[in-house]
Structure 1
């Protein structure tokens, strides 16, 4: 295994906000509690040590029920079973990542997130052996954005699950995915690794009643031995603990004020990722997940005929808390209320919106977690390694936009600097002298001198373009080779991890892909990892 890494700033693929956060820029300190270092987790553990034993008991029992309902039988000695039971203990804490229920795992970073959670829990156990640490994957089962999760990119095309179902995606049945799995099998071919992956998908999607259960089975199969615990928040027993928070949001809208206040401060420095509403809850029932809005003295469920008076709303919340579904602003608070959690692991966009939420957490008296930027990975297969070596370019060069990459390659190979800066400097110097002569003889000549200056500079610029075009023609084959490599590493000019699916790598690497990630990814290294198969 050949490996390398770049800082996130070096890649030029991440926002200024994220790069400054990783540099622990003082101007961001007010937006989080503790930066995630192994040493800082000591104080994070202490801050979370009074977590409710009642919630621990309910959480552990409900998680056991979730696995049973998904058809997963956990033996007493299974690492996941042991972790679930340990959640009842005051010395157990969690580290969490979350993701949508993308079919077939979706983009590769789904895998990287979970590996980071597993590895962070492992590292914390070594640092603080008196405690237990459980890696959590929080499934976004209540999301209703089907178009974000119903496809994968593969080999330059797209495989898409078309269904007319509405509402929370976790509750949707998996009808139609059988046909998509067969189509995927044809694409992947008869190799054993391909067969193994298809078998994983078949077990997950063809033996499960809904997408939430299927995604649980899928993630459990991939990480069965690492003790990963998978949480579905769409549960009455868990949401019962959120009644006071939900009631406050429904009646007083105070969360909006708190997030808006923090967002204004952050916006002065960068930009906002999320925008809170007066009410940050959806009404969730059967195939309905629609926003709740207040109009006069009524609470309306948009796009339905459902409405509540205040008394009826509070009665509904008390009897059926599972029917109230938090949006992107309240979901993090829900998560931290029901988990003894120390850290949240997410991508750049997630970390950015979490930074808007600290004020809301403080007002609700909920400890704010450490925010861990997940590892990013570029996985390079041997054939592309060899082709990169043939170009004399470095892998770092390929992080440039394609036109800059080509220009960089041409500049290195041309006999003269294609920018022609030296010649422009000489022209400017000559005309500076001519301008002085004109001032001494006839000032009216200055206009003619400067016109001639501009004419010569324009001519030089045109000559530069012709030289570059000639060099491109000369290196046409090299340009085509570089372009093929670039799009292999950055499909659609985007990061591989945001575009490609597990199905692009697993048929070649098999389970070695997962084991390599578990070995190589350090969640607190804050680096962009380049791994070569």
Structure 2
């Protein structure tokens, strides 16, 4: 049986920035507070306890209790909400968009990582309480990113017009989506459970925020997961000093720009705007723009003087929505949080923010790359063995994998490196001869060398093509297996929805994930179901 995990760094699916972060390269150390090791959480807790405004705890608990009104929640979730009133309670947080029916698989992996880390920390540091939190991205407005999920080979979409924060969006029209989904599911008890889950989630809740809270609570509520909606007047009231600072001084833009030189060798994930705030109403989420002392709401007729916008902030803080640059600060001001768990793209923009956090006097959290998983059947794992493949092989780019296996299968020497080396040695002697006789011959020698090397390369390619044909049957089985595990030659976790695997594996998916995923080990897990 092949190894059941490979390192993130060797998977080939993470950017240089993230692999360098995982390798703790010196040039990136100024961009984060503490690296995610079990030992570092003790110091992180002490620092956060010192810097976090304990008066916020009661406001947070009251807001959460209000958000859960009308929902059946587990005793463990109730207890965790109440524990947030205690000074020795901290959160471990992940965030995600309100994707239809959870969207891609990694939604589950984020939350399982968060819950498992909270459990591990509770065992290690019993003097503290650790609460897993899912922060819903209710104020996002990119509806096209969340209005579908893939079930097997079919894209199931919710087609409608949308404006404003997606969390406030009505769920009207999802009956038609359920009809399409039901036809794809077919018969059986597991299919019936998925139909019921979709119906209870989207048909019986009036907006996308409540629907997503219900869904996440059904899937994970028994673990004590606490679900937070940041689109809250009482929570935003706590954040108003930072919003005021942004409106008057545009601090986030200045501080994030200071970090840019430390990331000059990488692709910048997000670029800050002058003001990193949106103005929101039920059907509006537009940027706030400052021009000549007046604050304009982009694409509308709404505008404010400085005095007017500060008065609005005081009376209606819920009308101000932090963008991707300011939302991390909002989360860390509101929550007694120690660690943010996210994907590579998320961690990339968090790594731009430490200087901004320092200027705001807010503790920068530990950043942890979420667990990644490749789900496979025992039958697929057995095929890997029979084809003499490793999991490292199956993560390779397909053309590279085919070439590698062809070279292994062939009894011929398909690598002409030795011949090329010998040829270069011979031409080195010719260069010496040309230099001693007539230097003008050097150009002719160079041209002949390139011609001969090109000829060898062409022979090498022709031989490789011929051997691929000779071993076509084995190579086809290899590529078929890889295509099953990497749909569209992309990571399974970015394409497939959990429902496909819930159906296939008799409802055991989350149970297996909780057993197998270890958040601090920095490995791409292969989970055999």
TM-score, normalization: structure 2? 0.96
* Structure-2 separation of matches of 1:109 and 1:169: 20
Residue 57 of structure 1 corresponds to 58
Contact 2:409 2:471 (C-alpha < 8 Å) held by counterparts: no
SS of equivalent residue, structure 1 residue 223: helix
Contact 1:3 1:532 (C-alpha < 8 Å) held by counterparts: no
* Structure-2 separation of matches of 1:312 and 1:453: 76
CA RMSD in angstroms comes to: 1.9
* Structure-2 separation of matches of 1:170 and 1:152: 17
Change (3 A) 1:285 1:442: closer
Structure 1 position 113 matched with structure 2 position 110: yes
Question: Of the candidates 91, 96, 110, which is equivalent to residue 99 of structure 1?
Answer: 96
Shift of 1:455: 3.5
Shift of 1:446: 5.7
1:166-207 residue CA offsets vs partner (Å, 9 max, x unmatched): 111000011222221221222222132222222222211111
Contact 2:133 2:228 (C-alpha < 8 Å) held by counterparts: yes
1:208-247 maps to which residues of 2 (within 5 A)?
Answer: 208-247=205-244
1:102-251 maps to which residues of 2 (within 5 A)?
Answer: 102-251=99-248
* Structure-1 separation of matches of 2:2 and 2:201: 33
SS of equivalent residue, structure 2 residue 296: strand
1:206-233 residue CA offsets vs partner (Å, 9 max, x unmatched): 1111111111110111112100000000
* Structure-2 separation of matches of 1:400 and 1:506: 27
Residue 469 of structure 1 corresponds to 465
Structure 1 position 493 matched with structure 2 position 494: no
Which stretch of the first structure deviates more once superposed, 425-434 or 298-307?
425-434
1:109-508 maps to which residues of 2 (within 5 A)?
Answer: 109-262=106-259, 264-433=260-429, 450-508=446-504
Shift of 1:391: 1.6
1:280-328 residue CA offsets vs partner (Å, 9 max, x unmatched): 1101112111111011121111111111111111111111000100000
Shift of 1:386: 2.7
Shift of 1:504: 2.2
Shift of 1:359: 0.9
1:69-102 residue CA offsets vs partner (Å, 9 max, x unmatched): xx31336xx1001111111111111000000000
1:336-393 residue CA offsets vs partner (Å, 9 max, x unmatched): 1111111100111111111111111111111111111111111112232232223212
* Structure-2 separation of matches of 1:433 and 1:240: 80
Shift of 1:441: 7.2
Aligned length in residues:
528
1:217-263 residue CA offsets vs partner (Å, 9 max, x unmatched): 1011111210000000001011011111111111111221011111x
* Structure-1 separation of matches of 2:135 and 2:435: 75
Contact 2:289 2:296 (C-alpha < 8 Å) held by counterparts: yes
**Structure 2, gaps ≥5 residues long:** none
Contact 1:97 1:136 (C-alpha < 8 Å) held by counterparts: yes
* Structure-2 separation of matches of 1:140 and 1:251: 26
Contact 1:266 1:272 (C-alpha < 8 Å) held by counterparts: no
* Structure-2 separation of matches of 1:269 and 1:459: 38
Change (3 A) 1:429 1:3: closer
SS of equivalent residue, structure 1 residue 97: strand
* Structure-2 separation of matches of 1:439 and 1:242: 76
**Structure 1, gaps ≥5 residues long:** none
